[in-house]
Every structure is written in C-alpha cells, then in structure tokens.
Structure 1
Amino acid sequence: MQTDFIVSREDWSLHRKGYLDQQRHQEKVEEAIRKNLPHIITEENIILAGGSKIVKVPIRSLEEYRFRFNLNQGRHVGQGSGHTGKGTVIAREGDHRGGRGTGAGDQPGMDYYEAEVTLEEIEELLFRDLELPNWQEKKKPRQAAPAYEFRDVRRSGIMGNLDKKRTLLENLKRNARLGHPRIGGFKPEDLRFKTWEERIRQESSAVILAMMDTSGSMGTYEKYIARTFFFWMVRFLRTKYEQVEIVFIAHHTQAREVTEEEFFSKGESGGTRCSSAYRLALELIEQRYPPQDYNIYPFHFSDGDNLPSDNEACLELLQKMLPLVNQFGYGEIVNPYYRTSTLMNVFKKIQDPRLVTISIKEKSDVYYALKQFFSHRERKRAL
C-alpha cells in the first residue's frame, strides 16, 4: 500500500508580517510625534478646545528597504574613474536635478499621510522625563488617598475575595492525605480567601504659584504663549502628582488670585507692576503655605515690559522669596525685535541656582521651557 506524505514548505514568518508592519507603523507614529513635539503642543486646536481634540501628525509612508539606482548616472559602481586628485571638485550643491538652486524641481516628492493621535499619546511622550525639581520631604506630610493591599489569607470571607490558587492546593492536599491525590470534591474547609488591609499613605505637599502678566503690553500672541505653557504645566502636575495645589495669580499694576477659568480666559489691560504679583506670592507663602510644610514653586510669565521704577522692588521681593522656595521660574516672551527687557536685566544680578529663567522667541520654545523648568537634571540658568 502506498502512503502519500504532504510536506509543508510554508514560510511561517509571513504570518507575523501584519504584526511587524503594525509595530513599524506605531514606531513611525511615535517618532513623528517626538520630532514634532515642540510644534504639536502649541496647536491652537488643543489649547483653545481644552485638550479634547485629536491631533493629526504627518507621517512618511512606510516602504520596504530596497536599493534605488539613478539611471541617469550610467554605470552603477562604487568607484571613481581613477583620474581624480587632491582638491578635485567632485560635485557642487545644486548639481542634482530637482535640488536646491535649480528652480522648480522635476523629481517626485516623498509621500506622507496624517495620522491621528490622542492627547494621551502626546502627554506620555511630553511628560516622560518631567518632574518637580529639588523635591524635599516636609515635616508635615499630607494624608493621601488610602491604598488597599491583600496581605493575608483566611478560611472565611466573601466569594469575591476567593483565592482560587490556594483553594485548589488545599483541595489537592486534603485528597492526597486520604490517598486520592486529585483535584475535586471540594468542601468548605478547602476554601481560602484573601483579606485586604487599608494602608494610609503620607505624601509631601507642594504648591505651584502660577503668575501671569495680563497688562496692556501683553498682546494676543504673548498671552497665548503664556497660557500654552500653563495649560501643559497644569496637565503635567495633575497627571503625575496627587498632593499639588495650584494657585492662579493674574496681574497688571495690581495682582489678585483668580480661578482657573478666569486665568485661562479673561483678558485685562493697563500698566505693569510685576512686584504686585511677587508681593501677593509672598503673602500667600506666609499665610497659607509655610515652607516647612510645602514644596513651593512660583512660575511667572511676562513680556518683561515692566515699569522701570518697579524693577528694584521686584529684585528685593524676589531675593526675599528665593530662600523660601524650591525653584522660581521666570519665562519672558521676547518681542519681535528680540530686545532684552529691563526686568531680565535685573534678574541677571541674582546668582542663585533656585532662579531659572528662559526667553521665549517663538511658539516651539514652550516645549523647551517645560523641559527647563521641570527637569530633574542639573541645569544652568538660561538667560
């Protein structure tokens, strides 16, 4: 009798191709987000919509790696003609067709499409390396939400806490003692239940004093930059920290504590006295947030166009505040002429590692401001 054998020569690696392509696609998306992050986080459809929009990111089309030869070059070998010497010009910029310096190009471009990404994906990449710097354990930690842990096993309890693994082991051991090592014939004495304990966690507290200049010199662009920074700062703090309070302070010639909604939506006008915000911040520290109980982080954003006679008052108040805080961050939104303001000149006089300053000249600088202010790495002041 003849027996037929069928030998399968199917390449099983092809079954993983769909998964591999999906993985490569996800890597491409993440790479595109990472490269475009400084521009993505300043998108108006995110900031003005309260973070509820899905963002579209351009992604280059995925292609398999392959060699591509230029047929106009004749022979396709990796060597020269042998008549070159030292100093011989091989090519000049713009010699290739479609390159810069040749006018309108005649070569096809690179295909790309827009991938939709959620705000959570952006936050995961943006907040990955951020943390509050110079964090300290305080004398009076606050009680955080209780945590529940399963730490014991008992013979009685509710069926929702039944420990199936230990119940099976007890049943097996009981049957083995009777000479029938098997699983089955369960009895009440076989049941084991997990029991949980409430554990109270103590965490150090922190307060963020968010100060924003809302004077007449802060135009639409300047206010948008400041609100963009504080928008991402608030989301970062509420994502990574439980025991962090945020106090919103708006100021022109006078400073006042406002609600979060007013801080991000209400516009004002008038002159500028930055010292009013610093004076109010000091009062809040003295009355509500003592340094022995709180990690304190004031952040101030302004265009730097402060009343000249007020600069010395700012310097004096800031010098009083620095010993009380973990870090003071000052972000200055530079005007179109990129001149250095009088307020930034005043801050240059202070040599204290707790003072961190940064100048913002374009929207993408908001990303670097977040990295500068919330970096755990040792940094230098960026003036």
Structure 2
Amino acid sequence: EELQLPRIEPRGQKEVVTERDRYTGIRPVGPNSLRHFKRTFREALKRTIAIGEYNPKNPVVLPIKEDMRYRSWTTVKSPQSNAVVIYMMDVSGSMGDEQKEIVRIESFWINAWLKSQYEGIQTRYIIHDATAREVDEHTFFHTRESGGTMISSAYKLANRIIEDDYPAADWNIYPFHFSDGDNWSVDDTRTCIRLLKEGLVPVANQFSYGQVESPYGSGQFIKDLREHFEVGSEDCNVVCSEIKDKDAIVKSIKEFLGAGR
C-alpha cells in the first residue's frame, strides 16, 4: 500500500528559503581550493602542443598561470516547506517501558520519513505526566519517567509553542500525541477537548492521536476524542490510531500519513 503523504503547502507571505552554492562552469581565475586539475592540465597540454614543446617520449606538462582553470559557482535559492511537527508523548507511570518503546519507534519512523520527503520541516518534542515540558530529540527518545497523567498540560504547552513560534497563517502544523489513553480526571479530559477545539485542531493541518494498548491504562481518551470529533469523516482533521503492539506500528503510520493532509 502506497502512502499518500501530507500535502504540505505554502502558507502566508513568509517562505523558508535556503541558499547553497552550485558549480556551474569553469573560469580562468579563482582560489586554489577551487582549482580544476583536469581542465588545468588540458589547457597546459594544448598550449605545449601548440608551441611545439610537447615530447611524446618525455610527456612532461607543466602548467603556467595562463593554464589555470577554476570551478565557478552560482548561489541557488531553494524554497523549503514551511512545516512544524510537534511530538507529544505520555511518560506517566501507566505507560510501561514496552508502551514507551512503541511510541519511540513509531515517532522515529514518522520523523525519518517526513524529513526524507520534505525539506525545511522543524520538529519540537514534548513529554508529559502530570506536567509537560519541552525536551530535545535525544531526551524524547531516551527518557524514563513516571507519575500521574494530565494530558491537558501537553496541549497547553503545544498551543503556547505554536502561538509563540508558528503562526498558522505561515506554517503547516502537524501535532502528534501518543498516550495509553489514561487521564487524570474527567475534568481534565473536558479541558483537553476544549484546548483541541479552540486551539490545536483549528490551526493544525492534521492532529494525530496514537493510543498504545497498556494493561495499566484505561484506554478511555480515544473514545472521548471519537465522541467529540467526527473522526474518519472527510472534513475532520483529527486522526486516531490504536496501536496494540509493535506489529501494529506500520499500520498506524499508514493511518496517520495516509490521510493526505
């Protein structure tokens, strides 16, 4: 089955552009670091033959200043996709080592795939138990923590990051949240739904929630999302995936990336 990747489109007036040098030709002047030895030798050989000094029995060719040739270059501007991917992971006590490992494997491959397909994607990482904090990539993929679960803390932090750094008019926004579906309370779940409806979902190209099966978690949160959002409908940009075990990772990735947003 072929993945239909998200259609990352230009947004707003801003455009992420990188510049790189591309070698485009040869010129007679330049720094030694750009000397083209083959072309220099060719010019020296042509000159030596032209003036009758070339001896096939002693084929020594000594380039002089006029023979030197150097690579020339042009600075090329390359537009990049204006996109940010925000990964959120539940690291609470109900998420066992196996569940966290599944999340890390799936996040790693989603990240690797998107980076291989699109230039200019930025990534941010959030871990949460009862509180949320932003971490670097290494910490996200290696941390071991435990505690209670308050999902709203992650959504609040993600909203803050977007508001501060990624205005929706200029950026394609892809939040991914992974959890075992266990939350602190019904009240916090209500807060999560409000934060999603008023914050993350309206600004995101797609909000992706992956729920890992756990013997310790209630698994309730995905049911709450499906109750409040028309998950699976053409107009809904909320995608949910249930991840039973490691064998379900590929199927889950296809569910997320196959939505084509």
* TM-score bin, normalised by smaller chain: 0.7 to 0.9
Q: 1: distance between equivalents of 2:240 and 2:250?
A: 14
Q: 1: distance between equivalents of 2:37 and 2:14?
A: 39
Q: Which has the higher contact order (CA 8 A, sep 6+)?
A: 2
Q: Does 1:312 align with 2:190?
A: yes
- For 1:123-142, list aligned pairs within 5 A: 133-138=6-11, 139-142=13-16
Paired position in structure 2 for 1:354: 237
Indicate how the Cα distance of structure 1 residues 231 and 187 shifts in structure 2: closer, same or farther if over 3 A, else same. Answer: closer
Q: How far is 1:133 from its partner?
A: 1.1
Paired position in structure 1 for 2:145: 267
Question: Identity rate of aligned residues, in percent?
Answer: 35
Residue 372 of structure 1 is aligned with which of 240, 255, 259?
A: 255
Residue 103 of structure 2 is aligned with which of 226, 230, 244?
A: 226
Q: How far is 1:158 from its partner?
A: 4.9
Residue 200 of structure 1 is aligned with which of 71, 77, 92?
A: 77
Indicate how the Cα distance of structure 1 residues 252 and 158 shifts in structure 2: closer, same or farther if over 3 A, else same. Answer: closer
Indicate how the Cα distance of structure 1 residues 153 and 333 shifts in structure 2: closer, same or farther if over 3 A, else same. Answer: same
Paired position in structure 2 for 1:294: 171
Q: 2: distance between equivalents of 1:302 and 1:374?
A: 18
Indicate how the Cα distance of structure 1 residues 216 and 194 shifts in structure 2: closer, same or farther if over 3 A, else same. Answer: closer
TM-score, L = length of structure 2: 0.75
Q: How far is 1:136 from its partner?
A: 1.4
Q: In proportion to residue count, which structure has more strand?
A: 2
Q: Does 1:279 align with 2:156?
A: yes
Q: 2: distance between equivalents of 1:361 and 1:164?
A: 60
Q: Give the 3-state SS of the residue equivalent to 1:218 in structure 2.
A: coil
Paired position in structure 1 for 2:24: 151
Q: Give the 3-state SS of the residue equivalent to 2:21 in structure 1.
A: strand
Paired position in structure 2 for 1:330: 209
Q: Contact 2:168/2:203 (CA < 8 Å) preserved in 1?
A: yes
Residue 344 of structure 1 is aligned with which of 207, 218, 222?
A: 222
Deviations 1:338-367 (A, max 9, x none): x98332222223134321111011211112
Paired position in structure 2 for 1:69: none
Q: 1: distance between equivalents of 2:168 and 2:260?
A: 22
Residue 246 of structure 1 is aligned with which of 90, 113, 123?
A: 123
Q: Contact 1:163/1:194 (CA < 8 Å) preserved in 2?
A: no
TM-score, L = length of structure 1: 0.53
Indicate how the Cα distance of structure 1 residues 326 and 243 shifts in structure 2: closer, same or farther if over 3 A, else same. Answer: same
Q: Give the 3-state SS of the residue equivalent to 2:134 in structure 1.
A: strand
Indicate how the Cα distance of structure 1 residues 340 and 250 shifts in structure 2: closer, same or farther if over 3 A, else same. Answer: closer
Q: Contact 1:311/1:342 (CA < 8 Å) preserved in 2?
A: no
Q: 1: distance between equivalents of 2:128 and 2:143?
A: 14
What letter is aligned with 1:149? R
What letter is aligned with 1:367? V
Q: Contact 2:93/2:145 (CA < 8 Å) preserved in 1?
A: no
What letter is aligned with 2:172? N
Q: How far is 1:147 from its partner?
A: 1.5
Q: How far is 1:165 from its partner?
A: 6.2
Q: 1: distance between equivalents of 2:67 and 2:157?
A: 66
Gaps of 5+ in 2: 51-59
